[in-house]
Amino acid sequence: MSDATDTHCPYCALQCGMGLRRTGDGPVPVAVVERPDFPVNRGALCGKGASAAAVLSPGARLTTPLVRVAGELRPATWSEALERIAGELSGTAERYGRDAVGVFGGGGLTNEKAYLLGKFARVVLRTSAIDYNGRFCMSSAAAGGIRAFGLDRGLPFPVADIPSAGCVILVGGNPAETMPPFVRYLTELRENGGRLIVVDPRRTRTAELADLHLAPRPGTDLALALGLLHLVVAEGRTDEEFIAARTSGWEETRAAAMAHWPEHVEAVTGVPLPQLRDAVRMFCDAETGMVLTARGPEQQAKGTDTVSAWINLCLATGNAGRPYAGYGCLTGQGNGQGGREHGQKADQLPGYRKLDDPAARAHVAAVWGVDPRSLPGPGRSAYELLDSLGREVRALLLMGSNPVVSAPDSARIADRLRGLDFLAVCDVVLSETAELADVVLPVTQWAEETGTMTNLEGRVILRRRAVDPPEGVRSDLEVLNGLAGLFGHGEGFETEPEKVFEELRRASAGGPADYAGISYERIAAEEGVHWPCPSADHPGTPRLFLDRFATPDGRARFTAVQHRPAAEEPDGEYPVRLTTGRVLAQYQSGAQTRRVEALNAAAPGAFVELHPSLAERLGVRDGDRVAVVSRRGRTVTPARLTAAIRPDTVFMPFHWPGEANANLHTNPALDPVSRMPEFKACAVRLERA
């Protein structure tokens, strides 16, 4: 609409289109309006998106740099703050070596900021110690996708394809609360005659929409997928023609699946055998099928193998590499996809290139104007980096993340942050992590800056600046430019987003995530462009793998996997499983949404959800305060009784800090491939408080 600035929501990876119309009234000079022409959400917005303008209020955010003096954060000038950061980082590198300086980024940063942050770490600081909180989002799905297809993109097809599938299995996702506008695609699927199967230990709002709800014990999704594949083989439902023509590794995978007979899988998962057979029938009777995974199966110490098992189910039934079929991941964070494609991840360079690949190093180094030999090698994954703070890593620059609330075993990570010699945080608000910092820099947010994001379907979109930031606030690009200058790198760190994006295009050219043919003008004209897009005359790639997979021989690869228990199983002392997730009105660590009055009214605080039969054994009534105790921590929160959860499982949302922080309990056991922590399954006991 002509009187509104077209932009996108600041929250999840759906990146819904919206408009911001100037009002001139009150502390927030814009109002959110619908943008029905954007194809992903077609005007629909959830409560978080509709109220997004509230986070622009001056009263909700930082407007001046803060520097710790005599133990307290006090206002400072930008020169004082930047010089303090540069001095501390350089001094730490001189005393302890370059890798003693760390950088931690975020999955909400624009592509331009993620790119420049990675460049700053490797060219200016020359440290290997960089990773980002997107490692906690979809790294297991990424590893499984690369293992099978040779390439990772959240969805290898547009969301608009979902309603045309014959059957969709949604594993461990609750988009009715995490990305509500996505639900229209599930509704349209059923209206078109398609079937929906939801796998979740809770009967969520999304599960209420399903034709079939499977409720496995947390941590057993791998066994469930293997059991379904066993039944597919046993019932002769495999697509032998597809397997022979377009895959490799089937014999080993079939043998592994046949070791997981249905009665055993029923005992492990708690899913009745008739439901397993119903799921196979629905999926195999459909002309096309999709499997979509989310954080449930991915945030496990065996998350990569679990994703591989669900991909195996798609491949064995011929549901990959053709229209309206395939495996996809519902990315969580706003730029979880683009954030790792362009250099924040410990082992990757821009364009999804591997940091240990000599050709990749040479290409990116040429764009950056440095010697490839000067680039550091791969570093630690996110949790390992955070766990090294105060020991191997002595100083940290953190941008766009709040690990005091969001990291697993969060009390341990808070202690690690306190143990640093120096911590600098760039953020919009004084988050729980920023409160621990030695320097806090106030930076611009979504509506105050222009930049690109990459949504869950690989669509590169453009957020546009709609309002001026408050006086005293700078962009992250200006922060990196200022710090680079103090380190003697006066060039190569542009502050204009479009100029940074032009360099990103060159750095990504020829890589798996090739943005070379994408420009701001094309994004605006085409409502986003799907990567890979190697040239200006290339149409972009909404659908991957239709002709061949991105492996050397063009074939998808089966991976033989075996079920194994969760890293921490219930026992006599901790007899109950805890799983975590999100609620409709809050987002991630709550740093933004907990500052919006309407959202807090809808979801004012944490709770623990438990089945009435478990509550009866404990003598707990609805609303009673309950202590949740694990090997790592203790939280106290009200009980919420519901028959929509398994009796052997409790659920806590993870948006709140302090004594209600669910991540005090979560297990930092890591997946050996993706280095994903096991957020979704740990052992606890409950006590009346």
Q: Taking residues 325-339, what's their average pLDDT? A: 92
Question: Pick from 243, 230, 219: which is nearest to 277 by CA?
Answer: 230
Say which CATH number the domain at 674 has: 2.40.40.20
Question: Looking at the domain assignment, is residue 234 inside a domain?
Answer: yes
Query: Cis before residue 376, ω within 30 degrees of 0?
Result: no
Question: Looking at the domain assignment, is residue 22 inside a domain?
Answer: yes
Domain boundary among the residues 45, 60, 75 is at 60
404 pLDDT higher than 50: yes
Q: Taking residues 16-44, what's their average pLDDT? A: 91
Say which CATH number the domain at 325 has: 3.40.228.10
Domain boundary among the residues 330, 357, 384 is at 330
Output the CA–CA distances (angstroms, integers) from residue 158 to 35, 340, 519, in the order listed. 19, 20, 20
Burial of 675 (0-12, 13-18, 19+ CB in 10 A): buried
Q: Which tokens sit at 329?
A: 């991941």
Residues 16 and 156 both lie in one domain: no
Angle, nearest 10°, between helix axes 497-508 and 111-119? 70
Average pLDDT over the chain, rounded to an integer: 96
Q: Taking residues 345-367, what's their average pLDDT? A: 97
**Residue pair 619/672 in contact by the 8 Å Cβ criterion:** no
Residues 54 and 70 both lie in one domain: no
Q: How confident is the model at residue 24 (pLDDT cuts 50, 70, 90)?
A: confident
Q: Taking residues 516-534, what's their average pLDDT? A: 97
Q: How confident is the model at residue 511 (pLDDT cuts 50, 70, 90)?
A: very high
pLDDT tens sequence across 125-164: 999 999 999 999 889 999 999 999 999 999 999 999 999 9
256 pLDDT higher than 60: yes
Q: Taking residues 111-126, what's their average pLDDT? A: 98
Burial of 471 (0-12, 13-18, 19+ CB in 10 A): exposed
Question: Pick from 604, 634, 607: which is nearest to 620 by CA?
Answer: 607
| DSSP letter string, 173-198 | --HHHHSGGGHHHHHHHHHTT-EEEE
Q: Taking residues 331-348, what's their average pLDDT? A: 91
Question: Pick from 227, 233, 296: which is nearest to 562 by CA?
Answer: 227
Q: Taking residues 361-384, what's their average pLDDT? A: 98
**Residue pair 268/563 in contact by the 8 Å Cβ criterion:** yes
Residues 502 and 649 both lie in one domain: no
Residues 418 and 516 both lie in one domain: yes
Q: Which tokens sit at 229?
A: 């594949």
Query: Of all residues in the chain, what percent carry a pLDDT higher than 70?
Result: 100
pTM score, two decimals? 0.96
Q: Which tokens sit at 682?
A: 């740990």
Burial of 321 (0-12, 13-18, 19+ CB in 10 A): buried
3 state SS of 301:
coil
Residues 102 and 163 both lie in one domain: no
Residues 461 and 598 both lie in one domain: no
Burial of 96 (0-12, 13-18, 19+ CB in 10 A): middle
350 pLDDT higher than 60: yes
Residues 503 and 592 both lie in one domain: no
Residue 197's pLDDT is 98
* Count of structural domains within the chain: 4
Question: Looking at the domain assignment, is residue 546 inside a domain?
Answer: no
pLDDT tens sequence across 268-296: 999 999 999 999 999 999 999 999 999 99
Neighbours of 319 (CB within 10 A): 28
Question: Looking at the domain assignment, is residue 568 inside a domain?
Answer: no
What is the DSSP pairing of strand 576-581 with strand 649-653?
Answer: parallel
Say which CATH number the domain at 399 has: 3.40.50.740
Residues 513 and 587 both lie in one domain: no
Q: Residue 273 phi/psi, 5° resolution? A: -55, -40
Neighbours of 523 (CB within 10 A): 17
Neighbours of 17 (CB within 10 A): 26
Range of the domain at 620: 576-688
Q: What's the length of the chain?
A: 689
AA identity, residue 489 = H
Question: Looking at the domain assignment, is residue 562 inside a domain?
Answer: no
Question: Looking at the domain assignment, is residue 353 inside a domain?
Answer: yes
How far apart CA 124 and CA 121 sit, in angstroms, is: 6
Residues 146 and 125 both lie in one domain: no
582 pLDDT higher than 70: yes
Residues 315 and 363 both lie in one domain: no
Say which CATH number the domain at 53 has: 2.20.25
3 state SS of 450:
coil
pLDDT tens sequence across 456-503: 999 999 999 999 999 999 999 999 999 999 999 989 999 999 999 999
How far apart CA 433 and CA 206 sit, in angstroms, is: 33
236 pLDDT higher than 90: yes
Domain boundary among the residues 330, 345, 376 is at 330
pLDDT tens sequence across 388-401: 999 999 999 999 99
2 pLDDT higher than 80: no
Question: Pick from 390, 482, 400: which is nearest to 86 by CA?
Answer: 482
How far apart CA 603 and CA 580 sit, in angstroms, is: 16
Question: Looking at the domain assignment, is residue 94 inside a domain?
Answer: yes
3 state SS of 507:
helix
How far apart CA 200 and CA 218 sit, in angstroms, is: 8
pLDDT tens sequence across 649-661: 999 999 999 989 9
Burial of 263 (0-12, 13-18, 19+ CB in 10 A): exposed
Q: How confident is the model at residue 1 (pLDDT cuts 50, 70, 90)?
A: very low
How far apart CA 5 and CA 45 sit, in angstroms, is: 16
Residues 642 and 586 both lie in one domain: yes
Q: Taking residues 305-322, what's their average pLDDT? A: 98
**Residue pair 450/497 in contact by the 8 Å Cβ criterion:** yes
Residues 12 and 82 both lie in one domain: no
Give the 3-state secondary structure percentages of the chain, helix then strand then coil, rounded to 5. 35, 20, 45
Question: Pick from 556, 535, 534, 529: which is nearest to 545 by CA?
Answer: 556
Q: How confident is the model at residue 340 (pLDDT cuts 50, 70, 90)?
A: confident
Out of 96-105, 306-315, 334-343, pick the least confident.
334-343
Question: Looking at the domain assignment, is residue 111 inside a domain?
Answer: yes
**Residue pair 385/133 in contact by the 8 Å Cβ criterion:** no
C-alpha distance across the termini of the chain, in Å: 54
